[in-house]
């Protein structure tokens, strides 16, 4: 779910900021999810929502930032393995966020 704020800044040409929301069936409560990538400890934005299936969200990770993270030893796991094969000119890496089974 998303909550959209009814605000538009005409001077900047921006508006209607949104926040992702989730519903916890067990707690019967709505909350703002915070998800971190275990391989680089950065927040995952849940803004891309594929229709149905096992993919909850996806995010594009720029190659130059991954290479920098690799060189600074900030990555671990599969992401470190992937970043080790990249250079600054490589295509972005698409991270798939799957539902936990």
Ordered per-residue pLDDT tens for the chain, 101 residues: 777 888 888 887 788 877 777 788 899 998 887 777 777 787 776 655 666 678 877 888 889 989 999 999 999 999 999 999 999 899 999 888 887 77
Contact 47, 11 (CB under 8 A): no
- Which pTM does this prediction carry? 0.55
- Distance between CA atoms of residues 78 and 41, nearest Å: 13
What's the confidence (pLDDT) of residue 82? Answer: 94
**Residue 25 contacts by C-beta under 8 Å, 6 or more apart in sequence?**
none
What's the confidence (pLDDT) of residue 4? Answer: 84
What's the confidence (pLDDT) of residue 77? Answer: 92
Q: Please provide the distance, in angstroms rounded to a whole number, between the alpha carbons at the two ends of the chain.
A: 21
- Distance between CA atoms of residues 29 and 38, nearest Å: 26
- Distance between CA atoms of residues 57 and 47, nearest Å: 7
What's the confidence (pLDDT) of residue 49? Answer: 60
**Residue 42 contacts by C-beta under 8 Å, 6 or more apart in sequence?**
36
Backbone dihedral angles phi then psi of residue 46, each to the nearest 5 degrees: -95, 55
What's the confidence (pLDDT) of residue 39? Answer: 77
């Amino acid at each position: 779910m998303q909550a959209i704020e009814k605000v538009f800044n005409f001077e900047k040409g921006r508006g209607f900021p949104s926040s992702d929301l989730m519903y916890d069936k067990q707690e019967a409560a709505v909350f703002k999810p915070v998800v971190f990538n275990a391989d680089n400890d950065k927040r995952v934005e849940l803004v891309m929502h594929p229709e149905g299936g096992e993919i909850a969200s996806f995010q594009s990770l720029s190659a130059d930032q991954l290479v920098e993270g690799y060189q600074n030893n900030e990555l671990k796991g599969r992401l470190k393995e992937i970043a080790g094969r990249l250079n600054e000119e490589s295509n972005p890496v698409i991270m798939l966020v799957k539902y936990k089974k």
